[in-house]
Chains A and B, each alone.
Chain A
Amino acid sequence: MKKQLLFKAMLALSAALILSVAWMVSQRSVKAAPPSESSITGTVKLEGTPPHQRPIDMSKEPACAAVHKANPVTTENVVVGTDGGLKNVVVYLSEGWSGPETAVSSTPNWEQHGCQYIPHVMGLDVNEHFKVINSDPTSHNIHPMPKPGGPNHEWNKSQPAGAPPIDTSWPAEEVAIHVKCNIHPWMSGYMVVVKGPYGVSDDSGSFKVDGVPPGNYTLTAWQETYGAQTQKVTVAAGKPATANFTFKAK
């Protein structure tokens, strides 16, 4: 009689143990997007006439001027593509993200080519590593200028032609860090450091924010001239959500 009771108790205990382990395993977050993770896509447009972009004369650096001989370059504070699509807008989850800060780890390149920053605007996660590369025959000097007194520290490093890439990251979120080159005054770019997934709009204004689990979020779109706009977005399991932004040219 006692043996039977003991056996039943052990069976129940094992079942409970197995079930609780199974439950814990199911709660573990995985890198690979589980079938329930989704994405937010959309388009950012500019309404109205974009402000005039000034042509950039790189004659003081002939090697770079030569790169752009066929396609003259201009300032890039407002880049509008076909159908009014606004480029270089960083879209990210400003509220509602409960996952790790560093959700993306693609180690993007911040490239100096033809005396321009490519990309002009780069999205980054907190602590996400990026590589600064100089593919020009001239020295450049990378000078990111985060908010003074804040957790991100200003730095200023020179990178001669042939020097190794600079591998670094930002410890805190900041929208946005302006980057300039002290040697070539026209060079300008932005690093937008956020938590969680982000996307940057392309030539046609389209963006995609991947790896978003179901939930309610505030989506922010930031553009260097027009600032930020927000929208509330709900993402359902397995269904990509859409959000579009429209900035007004002043």
Chain B
Amino acid sequence: MHDTSTHAVAHHGPPTSFIRKHIFSLDHKVIGKQYYGLGLAAVIIGMVLSWLMRIHLGWTNYAIPGLHLLSKNGAAGDIMTPDFYLQLMTMHATFMVFFVLTVAPFAAFGNFFLPIHVGAEDMPFPHFNMMSFWVTFVAFCVMLLSFFVGDGPTLGGWTQYAPLSAVGAVAGPGEGAGVVLWATSIAIFCVGQLLGTLNFIPNVLDLRAKGMSLWRLPLPTWAWFITSCMGLTAFSVLMPACIMLILDHVAGTSFFVASNLVINDQLQPHSGGSTLLWQHLFWFFGHPEVYIAIVPGMGIISHVLITNMRKPMLSHRVIVYSLVALAVLSYMVYGHHMFVSGMNPLSSLLFSFPTLLITIPSTILVLIWIGSLYGAKLRINAASLFALGFISMFVTGGVSGFFLAQPSIQILLHATYFVVAHFHFTMAIAAIFGIFSGTYFWFPKMWGRMMNETLGKVHFWCSFVGVYCIFMPMHYLGLAGNVRRYQAFVVDYMQPLVGVHRFITIAALFTGAAQLIFIYNFIHSRFWGKPAPANPWEGTSLEWSVPSPPPHDNFGGRHVVVYHDPYQYGVQSSTGDYVMQDSPEQVKSAHEEP
């Protein structure tokens, strides 16, 4: 791979009008912040929906004051109906997976920092980049619209299994217009993200500054690059699947609906479709998607930890190779969501082996992270706390994966709260902790001000303890056979478990309230935080070589030349124990050999 100069990107002068500066901006940094704002709005929506769900699960017939304002038919007398619960659940998951976990760690931070990390002035196609945000924003609005039409949003889960999702309103409330809007929104979302990957990939391959070889890229950049490659292939499969689903609703096709189905005593006018086809298409996207959600976080916390450990990871290349292995294997494992789906049981075994093997790169990553802590000079601040918390969460989530990777064990644990625990630990907590870590770390660079460290630490403590209280008990519920996606527990053998649910609800409300500390800190710091220096954390990568916030063209007209690997810490230099990537200074490593 060769280095290229920064002249490949189309020059665009600094914007002058308000609209060009803040709304339809071509500047990757503004687009990154817009994505961050979108992610923040989505996480608040997703979190509030989860509170409503949890209150209902603990106290099913409780009238939640004001609930009727959210739904036409779903909350008469403020009591949540079974369909409204499922609608809230579907929207919770959809907003979180798509509009938070794909947007924040990847599109938000990636857009802001990728060009800077490689030493470029901007993304190669700024117009596509701007479109990618606004298309994603339209997708967000379409998804929100489903709360206001017909009988409300779809209730089929973010997985939208056919034929429930495909037969239309006849299958019950929430299965009509809500599904069409969901599928439309997601198809639009796919377009938005594809436009993003079209920028990320050439930015890394073609726009690196002189001296910035691929191996000198910081770890988040590698993570964004790998994630973009996954996104390109995964979203390309989800989009046509959503279009086929829409066609089944509005055009009388039967892609996913078999013949001779009877609903409301009426034979349905569909024939020839395949129930399992949807699952294959969805999970071929769905499994890489969960890695799209976590890989940027892995890059980000590695970056944050290295800066705060004052030493690089034990092996930079092993981390990169492990991330690549995760990405490649992620395409071969998707069938573990379908072990008991009715597909050929031999396929289940065939999918289980790569699933078990994907443990290896995950374990390597965890061992390298923990092993790199050995002999470090660890600095404790909000960013590093969340990064360390990420490791703890990822271990817990990964370990529950051992169970779910085996078809014979899934006989007990499939579709139970054990699965809910597993994916919340890996995605809802680990990935979110990655976002928090990145936020506390990069807020000074993005908005030019420091966040309040004390509030950050309080936020961390409440969140760390809180999320363990919420999600650890779900493993036990799963072992006891508590099926998921139930709006209430009327089944006899689940009665003894309601007390555990109430504990979880209280923990969830407490932890949710603690997030208000973060929101307050964010808003307050944005306007009244202490002005940030260029390099508050004594970091080495290129974002710390520019002012906080960076000027319009990132490097102020300077042609960046890179002289060092990304994580030269533990050296003796004029700046202290680190040397920045673009510093021409030659340094001696201060690293003690083991």
Contacts and interface: CB of A to CB of B under 8 A. Distances in A.
A163 B60 CA distance: 12
A164 B61 contact: no
B173 A162 contact: no
Contact of B77 (A139, A157, A164, A183): A164
B535 interface: no
Interface in A137-169: 138-139, 141, 143, 145, 156-164, 166
Of A139, A159, A166, A180, the most chain B CB neighbours within 10 A belong to A139
B236 interface: no
Given A138-B490, A145-B264, A180-B264, A158 B81 contact: yes
Nearest to B175: A156
Contact of A160 (B79, B172, B173): B79
B151 interface: yes
B500 interface: no
Contacts of B80: 160
Contacts of A161: 61
Contacts of A145: 264
Contacts of B82: 139, 141, 158, 160, 183
Contacts of A163: 76-77, 79, 81
Contacts of B63: 162
Interface in B56-115: 60-61, 63, 73-74, 76-77, 79-84
Contacts of A156: 151, 172-173
A20 B74 CA distance: 56
Nearest to A62: B492
Contacts of B488: 139
Nearest to A145: B264
Contacts of A164: 76-77
Contacts of A160: 60-61, 79-82
B61 A158 contact: no
A176 B461 CA distance: 62
A71 B186 CA distance: 52
A109 interface: no
A87 B61 CA distance: 36
B79 A162 contact: yes
Interface residues of A, number: 18
Contacts of A135: none
Q: Which of A139, A156, A157, A166 has its CB near the most chain B CB atoms (within 10 A)? A: A156
A160 B84 CA distance: 11
Contact of A166 (B60, B76, B151, B264): B76
Interface in B22-80: 60-61, 63, 73-74, 76-77, 79-80
A160 B63 CA distance: 11
A182 interface: yes
A112 B556 CA distance: 73
Nearest to B62: A162
Nearest to A166: B76
B173 A139 contact: no
B67 to A, nearest CB: 11
Interface string A52-94: 0000000000000000000000000000000000000000000
A143 B61 contact: no
B61 A162 contact: yes
Contacts of A183: 82
A88 B166 CA distance: 38
Contacts of B73: 157-158
B149 to A, nearest CB: 15
A158 B490 contact: no
Interface string A199-242: 00000000000000000000000000000000000000000000
Contacts of B173: 156-158
B270 to A, nearest CB: 16
Contacts of B74: 158
A162 B81 contact: no
Nearest to B84: A158
B55 to A, nearest CB: 14
Contacts of A180: 264
Contacts of A162: 61, 63, 77, 79
Contacts of B264: 143, 145, 180
A117 B77 CA distance: 22
A208 B173 CA distance: 38
12 contacts: A139-B82, A156-B172, A157-B81, A158-B84, A159-B81, A160-B61, A160-B82, A161-B61, A162-B61, A162-B63, A163-B81, A180-B264
Q: Which 8 A-B pairs give the minimum distances between C-beta atoms?
A: A158-B81, A164-B77, A163-B79, A163-B77, A162-B61, A156-B173, A160-B79, A157-B73
